[in-house]
Amino acid sequence: MAELPEYLSAHIQERVAAEAHELGIRVDVRGGVVHLRGEVVSEERSREVEESARDAAGGREVSNELHVVAVAEPDHEERLS
């Protein structure tokens, strides 16, 4: 019996969270293709997420649709009250 897309998506999301330490990645499986969506802070992080997803995808095609967003350094010290 083939694995249901919802279970495969959850399995891949768990693997990405555990191995690539990314929690905000959306994983959808459509037509046997695993689609990765979300935002990461660098191309390196994008590759790490994709690699973790490929390892968990069981040979299925993985479409990396992640967006790299620039994270600026703070321009002043944050004060906690």
- pLDDT for 69 equals 93
**Whole-model pTM over 0.85:** no
The pLDDT confidence band at residue 1, using thresholds 50, 70 and 90, is very low
The answer to whether 22 touches 40, Cβ cutoff 8 Å, is yes
Distance, CA of 81 to CA of 3 (rounded, Å): 50
Has residue 73 got a pLDDT over 80? Answer: no
Distance between alpha carbon 78 and the CA centroid of its chain, in Å? 29
- pLDDT for 46 equals 96
